[in-house]
Chains A and B, each alone.
Chain A
Amino acid sequence: MSGRRVVITGLGAVSSLGIGARHNFQQTLNGHSGIGMLELPGNHQRAGLPAAQIRMPLPEVIRTAEQAQFDRNALLGWIAASEALQQSGAMADGDAADSGVFWGTGMGGASTVEAGYVDLFVENKGRVRPMSVVAGMNNAAAAQIALRCQFRGTVNNYSSACVSSAQAIGEAYRHIHHGYAERVLAGGSEALLTYGVVSAWDALRVLAGAEAGQAQRACRPFAQDRAGLVLGEASAAVMLESLESAQRRGATILAELAGYGASNDATHITKPDADGQARAMAMALRHAGLDGADIGYINAHGAGTAAGDLAESQSIRKALGAAADKVQVSSTKSMHGHTLGAAGALEFVMTVQALASGSLPPTAFLEQPDPQCDLDFIPLKARHGQSMLAAMSNSFAFGGSNVSLIVRQFN
């Protein structure tokens, strides 16, 4: 594919595993799980459900006067985005009309919307807080990030369920590749652990249950004793940049974003389809100019549902062919849960660090492998000293959307 090369110069992350991209990655290498029993604010609880909640105090990145404008979704977003921005050092570059923000979220300001409903229908207040629209709108996080970075180029929002932020990163890659911007802060955020939203997911019967003492091992992708997916909250961001821009600034290049593939199953609204997934992976390989054998590690979508795990095991075989026997695959969702609109970005941030460090996070709690899922899923323990040319991050969504991103060593 002709076009400009796109490199990664900054990473940011906040999740149940902690604050900071490097810390999050280290936690996964340690096999540490951020999952616990769900504790919702207020009186209404949904008992028996584990969740990947961010329980540590958040850094004070906004002024008190701004709090009313910030849903938790945008707050998490700015925490991750400001980390990526800072690492990239891009602020020093001057004209930011050539810089944009591409952001993904599944449910945006869910807690603001729900608080409004409580005021109207439960408290009978007859009105909602004045900043309900400003805080609740789906583009709030992206807009606040652009405002704070003074990025005056294109600001786009993607809401495609669980691929939202992977799609944002992929589309940002194309945006730079084709010369529409020099740099884009791309990623996503999700903060949907509210009584209403969790109840809706629970009604779909896809959530894992857990006993109180067992909550941390509730998400077991590719395991025979899997129990379903575990919802989580998070945000993650990457600074993507044209190679020319990064070199001009003297920025440290962490890796090259070499390929993006996107497809839709168009078969079923929720049931995953191996063909659709394989098409996204094949497209990403084609764009990257790589063969399946060049991929040393895949951060799987691996949400921990029976249908999803099986489809992905098949689709990786389909896309990589014989190379699937050698590729190392793991699902870090076993530790940070399924962070929906933030998942693609969070797992991409893990993938970049795995490629750069040669250390591969395990699939935690994979003690009883599902024989139908017959790939090397890096059970239980991280592997170190794994140098490779390229790595892939997969994200698949309700609605049939599939996204694969490929990063390769920069040289």
Chain B
Amino acid sequence: MTTSLSTVINLLAKALDVPEASITGQTELESLGADSLTVIELIFDLEEKFNIQIGDERPNLVVVQDIADHIDSYLVNLKAAS
């Protein structure tokens, strides 16, 4: 189950100035022209959006879904904690 994917796609589309429709969960970040700095910016914006703090953990992020899964794991923990 994914809660953050649509937000990830929305922010990524804005950051890279591409149509949202061109991005799916399986789109490779590299093919979008999103390098490591773009991903750091994106995660910062997602942290603000969902009011979470991911810290320094940086798993291997290859496709868009990987970012959403990473964020979701924090959202699940947040829910469990509340």
A: residues with CB less than 8 A from B are 63-65, 68-69, 129-131, 134
- CB neighbours (8 Å) of A69 from chain B are 37
Q: Are B41 and A131 in contact (CB under 8 A)?
A: yes
CB-based nearest A residue for B33:
A65
A69 to B36, CA, bound (A): 12
Q: Are B15 and A130 in contact (CB under 8 A)?
A: no
A118 to B17, CA, bound (A): 27
Instruction: Say if the beta carbon of B44 comes within 8 Å of chain A.
Output: yes
Interface on chain B toward A: helix, strand, loop, or mixed SS?
Answer: helix
Instruction: Say if the beta carbon of B52 comes within 8 Å of chain A.
Output: no
A68 to B41, CA, bound (A): 8
**Could you give 19 example pairs across A and B, Cβ below 8 Å?**
A63-B16, A63-B17, A63-B33, A64-B15, A64-B17, A65-B16, A65-B17, A65-B34, A65-B38, A68-B15, A68-B37, A68-B41, A69-B37, A129-B41, A130-B41, A130-B44, A131-B37, A131-B41, A134-B37
- CB neighbours (8 Å) of B41 from chain A are 68, 129-131
CB-based nearest B residue for A65:
B16
Instruction: Say if the beta carbon of B78 comes within 8 Å of chain A.
Output: no
B44 partner, pick from A63, A64, A129, beta carbons under 8 A: A129
Whole-angstrom distance between the Cβ of A63 and the nearest chain B Cβ: 7
Q: Are B44 and A65 in contact (CB under 8 A)?
A: no
Q: Are B34 and A130 in contact (CB under 8 A)?
A: no
- CB neighbours (8 Å) of B62 from chain A are none
The 10 nearest A-B residue pairs measured at CB: A64-B17, A130-B40, A65-B16, A130-B44, A68-B41, A130-B41, A65-B38, A65-B15, A65-B33, A64-B16
Whole-angstrom distance between the Cβ of A56 and the nearest chain B Cβ: 22
Q: B1-32: which have CB < 8 Å to A?
A: 15-17
- CB neighbours (8 Å) of B17 from chain A are 63-65
Whole-angstrom distance between the Cβ of B15 and the nearest chain A Cβ: 6
A131 to B43, CA, bound (A): 12
CB-based nearest B residue for A63:
B17
A337 to B16, CA, bound (A): 36
CB-based nearest A residue for B12:
A65
A193 to B67, CA, bound (A): 37
- CB neighbours (8 Å) of B44 from chain A are 129-130
Whole-angstrom distance between the Cβ of B20 and the nearest chain A Cβ: 14
- CB neighbours (8 Å) of A130 from chain B are 37, 40-41, 44
